[in-house]
């Protein structure tokens, strides 16, 4: 975005590292789970022409409140944008977002998307598949943990179909949306062309990490569920384990989307590794 000539304002709960890595951006420390009214957002929108929301949390915990982050805060942001005259909003959501889902992550993501799509703004909603990034978070953290296991790769749900997308391609899609190079008023999936079994994705992830070759060992689903229950318990103490049940539930149904997004097909279909 800086390379596109934009002056950026970044908002995050902890911006210390962000300031160090991106000193050209003006950083503001704020907790979205507390910005629940349009008035809370108004001071942050002064002089802003477009908003990109890439905030998200995988599972409820001591620091994470999904309904507040994904739904209530987004609804307040939309209202604030309308009142402040900020016309453009790009929402980075997730594949699988569904208001009828029994998974709180996907349900609240969809509710936030609905607030954006029902607004008077010029909006674009991007729904990435499993995002591959140098930093470990969400589903990426789970893959990294499994792929980096010593001696063998334990694959829970090894046959589940997965479509990935590199973080650079997500950033490129955001750049195109803000720059008007994507038609507005669209919900667009960002995924690679074909789904692959999770086991195959783990092996490629292991090679990407520079680790020696190892064989995939299928682990019974019950083992994953038990590990998820233990991780959820530890999560109540503040440890955000990659094995939490929300990540496993997302993998259990597969991570797939529409791989023919028209104007951004050249973004989403490049080789990932």
In terms of C-beta density within 10 A (0-12 exposed, 13-18 middle, 19 or more buried), how is residue 44 classed? middle
Q: Tokens in use for 266?
A: 């050249």
pLDDT digits (tens, 9 = 90+) for 24-46: 899 999 999 999 999 999 999 99
How far apart are the C-alpha atoms of 228 and 244, rounded to whole Å? 5
pLDDT value for 235 = 58
Displacement of CA 18 from its chain's centroid (Å): 18
How far apart are the C-alpha atoms of 207 and 148, rounded to whole Å? 10
pLDDT value for 42 = 97
Displacement of CA 5 from its chain's centroid (Å): 25
pLDDT digits (tens, 9 = 90+) for 65-94: 999 999 999 999 999 999 999 999 999 999
pLDDT value for 273 = 47
Look at residue 145 and tell me whether its pLDDT is greater than 60: yes
pTM of structure = 0.84
Task: Give the SS3 label for residue 122.
Answer: strand
C-alpha radius of gyration, the chain, whole number: 19
pLDDT digits (tens, 9 = 90+) for 98-138: 999 888 889 999 999 999 999 999 999 999 998 887 765 55
Match 């993501």 to its residue by tokens: 109
pLDDT value for 176 = 93
Please compute, for residue 109, the number of CA atoms within 13 A of its CA located in the half-sphere on the CB side: 25
Residue 125's DSSP bridge partners are 91, 187
Is the distance from CB of 155 to CB of 199 less than 8 angstroms? yes
Triad 141, 147, 151: Cα angle to 5°: 140
């Amino acid at each position: 975005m800086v390379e596109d000539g934009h002056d950026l304002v970044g908002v995050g709960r902890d911006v210390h590292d962000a300031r160090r890595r991106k000193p050209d951006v003006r950083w503001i420390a704020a907790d979205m789970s507390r910005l629940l009214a349009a008035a809370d957002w108004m001071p942050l929108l002064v002089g802003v022409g477009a908003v990109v929301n890439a905030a998200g949390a995988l599972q409820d915990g001591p620091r994470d409140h999904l309904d507040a982050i994904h739904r209530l805060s987004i609804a307040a942001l939309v209202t604030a944008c309308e009142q402040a005259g900020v016309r453009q909003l790009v929402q980075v959501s997730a594949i699988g977002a569904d208001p009828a889902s029994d998974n709180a992550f996907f349900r609240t993501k969809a509710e936030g998307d609905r607030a954006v799509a029902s607004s008077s703004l010029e909006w674009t909603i991007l729904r990435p598949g499993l995002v591959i990034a140098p930093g470990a978070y969400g589903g990426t953290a789970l893959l990294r943990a499994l792929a980096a296991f010593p001696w063998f790769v334990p694959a829970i749900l090894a046959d589940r179909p997965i479509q990935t997308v590199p973080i650079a391609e997500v950033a490129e899609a955001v750049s195109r949306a803000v720059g008007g190079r994507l038609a507005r008023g669209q919900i667009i999936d960002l995924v690679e062309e074909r789904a692959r079994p999770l086991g195959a994705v783990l092996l490629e992830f292991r090679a990407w990490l520079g680790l020696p070759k190892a064989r995939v060992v299928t682990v019974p689903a019950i083992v994953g569920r038990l590990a998820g229950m233990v991780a959820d318990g530890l999560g109540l103490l503040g440890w955000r384990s990659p094995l939490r049940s929300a990540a496993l539930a997302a993998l259990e149904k597969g991570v797939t989307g529409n791989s023919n997004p028209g104007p951004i097909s050249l973004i989403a279909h490049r080789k990932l590794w």
